Amino acid sequence: MPAKPKKKRAAAKPSRARKEAPKKASVVKKAASTIQPLDLSAFPPESIIQSEKWICLACVLDVFTRHMGLALKTAHLEIKRYTPSLAELYAPAPTRPFFEATDSKDPCPYCGSPVKWHARFRVHRIESGKATDALRRGLVKSLPKSGDQFVVLEEKATGQHAFFEWIDKTSAAINFDDPGWLIQLSRHYLSRKEPKVDWQAHFDATHSIRRSRRLDTGFEVDHGRLFLAPMLFDELLLVQYLASRSQKAGGLTLEGRYTLPELFSRLRNAGYLRAAEIHAHNPSDALEQLLDHLSGGETALKFYHLVDRRELLEKTKAVRLVKPPKPKPKP
């Protein structure tokens, strides 16, 4: 922790050197990572999306003091109290004072300030639901309260919204050129659908997924094969179709490539459409209803964005007596 160097800036360098760090770069890295990320490993992984947002405190101070005429002390207080809005946290392209950190040692892209002026917000988005509600309440209760080190921002959402974001996130992390992608996607989907089951262990013990002729519900592992009840298996085909639709592997499933009309007749003949109470007569209407069925459609749910402000507080404290750097024009 940067507790020592806070009194006098001049003291910072010798004390760093005393720590026998091999290189300056690794010291910077170390200083930036003293705050351990929250441990959310108890949560079902498919219900969590983690992200981070970097902010340049020198840029914020510059705006507050130079453009808005705030006293430096007031500006520091404002920064300490600051929690980004959801729009700021999830803006597709960050704008000043937010920036994309490609390397933790890079200077600010706007003002050129060094890394000590940069703070990271870690954000954990937790999807509401039976599998997470109690865990989330327990976690939030256990967090330190002083200084608003953690802030929870709530967002109203729907089942459909959550499902599409899940499929986007999962597809983005999958390499569709890897022949194992169907298996990976299947594991992700089953983990989302049945979070209490240790799917990783079952997938580790199996090499293929089959449609069971014996089971009515659930699954079983037999001779290195994962057997799924017919409804579950057919649902998986649909998810595979959806995930691969926008890829080179378009429409690819465990049963090979399907066009939408082919998938439609496959699911109808297998009784899946009837079981899911889908009575549409053409493939595109059926697909729309299938999506509602899979995702819960307009069912209300919530995203809880747990914003970790610890690094902001730490960095603000560390630079509070440091003169803000003069903004440098971009090279």
Q: Which residues bind Zn ion (CB under 5 A)?
A: 56, 58-59, 108, 110-111, 113
Tell the smallest beta-carbon distance from residue 325 to Zn ion (Å): 8
Give the residue with the Cβ less far from Zn ion, 59 or 126.
Answer: 59
- Of 59 and 182, which CB lies nearer to Zn ion in the complex structure? 59
Answer yes or no: are the C-beta atoms of 277 and 222 closer than 8 Å: no
The two tokens of residue 288 are 């729309």
Residue number with CB closer to Zn ion (57 or 287): 57
CB of 58 to Zn ion, least distance (A): 5
Q: Is 209 exposed, middle or buried (0-12, 13-18, 19+ CB in 10 A)?
A: buried
**Contact present, 211 and 233 (Cβ < 8 Å):** yes
Q: Is 223 left (phi over 0), alpha (psi -120 to 50) or beta?
A: left
Order of strands across the sheet with 225-228?
208-211, 225-228, 219-222
* Least CB distance to Zn ion at residue 115 (A): 11
Beta carbon nearer to Zn ion, 79 or 294: 79
Distance CA 297, CA 277 (A): 14
| Closest CB to Zn ion among residues 94, 129 | 94
d(CA 102, CA 100): 6
Minimum CB separation from Zn ion for residue 59, in Å? 3
Least separation in angstroms between residue 113's CB and Zn ion is: 5
Give 44 or 97: the residue with its C-beta nearer to Zn ion.
97
In the complex, minimum distance from the CB of residue 108 to Zn ion, in angstroms, rounded to a whole number: 3
Nearer residue to Zn ion within complex by CB, 58 or 249:
58
Tell the smallest beta-carbon distance from residue 165 to Zn ion (Å): 31
DSSP 164-229: HHHHHHHHHHS-TTSTTHHHHHHHHHHHHH-TTS-HHHHHHT-SEEEE-SS-SSSEEEETTEEEE-
Q: At 3, is the secondary structure helix, strand, or coil? A: coil
Packing angle of the helix pair 159-173, 283-295 (nearest 10 deg): 90
